[in-house]
Amino acid sequence: MPNKFIKPIIVGNWKMNGLKSSIDELVKLIDLCSKNTKFDVVIAPPYTLLHSFNDLIKKNESLLKLGAQDCHHIASGSHTGSVSGEMIKDSNAQYVILGHSERRIQHKETNELVSKKAHAAQLLKLNTIICVGESLEDRSNGNHKEVIGRQLADSLPNGFTNKNTIVAYEPIWAIGSNNSASKEEINQMHKFIASFLLKYSKENYSLPIIYGGSVTQFNAKEIINIDYVNGLLVGGASLKADSFFGIIDAI
């Protein structure tokens, strides 16, 4: 049975984009989203903007939620340039994206490291959005399900629950490509992930599974209506309030 009873969640991942002046986009988004109660909307700006975004969200009593794009697996110490889960909590963010393919590829993050980070974040009661996704090569070779199964088995930390974990399926070849995965590809993989989780840990069958990879206001509705899709992880189209809200409005 598709787990469609979960409240959909739309996450905007700003990646390494956004300056102080980008607060204008948040002002607009808060205004546009003021009537939305159907979805949880999370915005994940770079670390440098977390505190100012939180201040604005609080001041406006907005329902928008705040997320970070990564965290270290250790609470504090000699790790130059890193940001811990505690620091993210300190900004009032409630979510953290982990294991994004850009971190896995550009920073050589392994499944094991993603699992450690997720464990640390969950101890702090942060909601973890754990990303998995296959390369074009994996898909062309027909290894995509095996790759995703391995990523899930090794990236999900012990003791995860459907209250603190969201799985984001983001095929690497669809990210930033203007070419999202097809309806069939998304349906097949989300169904596979749902059944994998069912076998892997029975009580976690209802883990939300969200899709990311070239989501826009033009394809969002079709994607969110696919069985086993509980939300969207949006990169490029989340940078501007109008296009991000276009997605929310479309669905």
Instruction: Pick between residue 161 and residue 177 the one whose CB is nearest to ligand PGA.
Output: 177
| Residue from 176, 179, 195, 218 in contact with ligand PGA (CB under 6 A) | 176
Among 113, 132, 233, 241, binds ligand PGA (CB under 6 A): 233
Q: Is 236 one of the binding residues for ligand PGA (CB under 6 A)?
A: yes
What does the per-residue mask of binding to ligand PGA show for 42-71, with x meaning CB under 6 A? ------------------------------
Shorter beta-carbon distance to ligand PGA: residue 183 or 205: 183
The contact pattern for ligand PGA, residues 10-49, with x = CB under 6 A and - = no contact, is ---x------------------------------------
Q: How far is the CB of 240 from ligand PGA (least distance, A)?
A: 12
Q: Answer left, alpha or beta for residue 155, where phi above 0 means left and psi between -120 and 50 means alpha.
A: alpha
Cα–Cα distance for residue pair 41/67, rounded to 1 Å: 10
What phi and psi values does residue 43 have, to the nearest 5 degrees? -115, 130
Of 45-53, 120-128, 195-203, 231-239, which segment contacts ligand PGA by CB under 6 A? 231-239
Tell me 74's DSSP state: S
- Report whether 2 contacts 227 (CB < 8 A): yes
224, 251 Cβ separation under 8 angstroms = yes
**CA R_g for the chain:** 17
- C-alpha 8/C-alpha 38 separation (Å) is 8
Q: Could you list the active site residues?
A: 100, 170
Query: What are the contacts of 201-204 at 24+ separation with CB within 8 A?
Result: 201/160, 203/161, 203/162, 204/160, 204/161, 204/162, 204/165
214 in contact with ligand PGA (CB under 6 A)? yes
Binding region for ligand PGA (CB under 6 A)? 13, 170, 175-176, 212-215, 233-237
